[in-house]
Amino acid sequence: MARKKFIAGNWKMNTTLDEARALAKGLVEACGKITDVDVAVCPPYTNLQAVGEIIKGSSIKLGAQDVHWEAKGAYTGKISCAMLKSVGVTYVIIGHSEQRTYFHETDETVNKKAKAVLAADLRPIICVGETLAERKAGRLTVVAERQVKGAFAGISEADALKCTIAYEPVWAIGTGEVATPQQANEAHQFIRKVIVSVYNNAAAEGIRIQYGGSMKPDNVKDLLALSDVDGGLIGGAALKVQDFLGIIKPV
């Protein structure tokens, strides 16, 4: 069965409450009825509830940018799965390279978060991808295999099928330098092979793999035409209604 495309906007640390409300309203008007592609927005924690109320009743789903794996307690600054659920979150981004680079995210914490998210009946979007130095050193496959195997360790096939993987080459994030279609498809195909080795063909065929890294209206067509690219995780271009719409529409 063909995998349904999935476009998610990662707003990162952008939008005050008023800005988030305005963006969400614009998105509901522009693409709130689109159903042939799955669409989600991932605002900062402070704007989840407000954005959730605005997109309610539309086809756009709510996502968060991170979560803590513990259920509750003395973890100052952290947010639990139950808290995210209580404001209407469906998807949770885990292991974004900015978390890995700046906030000590490891394959082990990605795995703990993925398990917590699945146990709460939420949907993880698990980010993987190599740095420029790793790519130049020919280590893309080593890094991607380690990250994918680490993220899915101990997760059942049924739960794995509820996950999305986002392949985000770190050198393409926010740089304007997009992976060529060939680079993207090769990486996605390699990730699918890793899924085969962890699970089986059915899991590899079922799990969606988004591309992320400077995806824009002018390059989206080529990327989404690739056999193994099942959507996008969008940063900068998710912050303007017309840009985000320009990515969803060609799907």
Give yes or no for residue 236 binding ligand 13P (CB under 6 A): yes
Give yes or no for residue 122 binding ligand 13P (CB under 6 A): no
Rounded Cα–Cα distance for residues 159 and 93 (Å): 16
- Minimum CB distance to ligand 13P, residue 89 (Å): 16
96 labelled catalytic: yes
- Minimum CB distance to ligand 13P, residue 127 (Å): 7
Q: Which of 96, 105, 130, 188 is catalytic?
A: 96
Rounded Cα–Cα distance for residues 33 and 83 (Å): 27
Look-up of token digits 């360790």:
153
- Measure Cα distances from 152 to 53, 221, 236 in Å: 32, 30, 28
Give yes or no for residue 106 binding ligand 13P (CB under 6 A): no
Is 34:192 a contact under the CB 8 Å cutoff?
no
Of positions 5, 10, 68, 152, contacts ligand 13P by CB under 6 A: 10
Rounded Cα–Cα distance for residues 60 and 9 (Å): 11
198 versus 235: smaller Cβ distance to ligand 13P: 235
Give yes or no for residue 70 binding ligand 13P (CB under 6 A): no
Q: Which of 98, 130, 168, 188 is catalytic?
A: 168
- The interface with ligand 13P within residues 191-220 (CB under 6 A) comprises 212-215
Of positions 55, 233, 248, 251, contacts ligand 13P by CB under 6 A: 233
Give yes or no for residue 168 binding ligand 13P (CB under 6 A): yes
Of positions 28, 39, 60, 173, contacts ligand 13P by CB under 6 A: 173
Of 32-40, 67-75, 105-113, 233-241: span binding ligand 13P (CB under 6 A) = 233-241
Rounded Cα–Cα distance for residues 90 and 163 (Å): 11
Contact footprint for ligand 13P (CB under 6 A): 10, 96, 168, 173-174, 212-215, 233-237
Residues that are catalytic: 96, 168
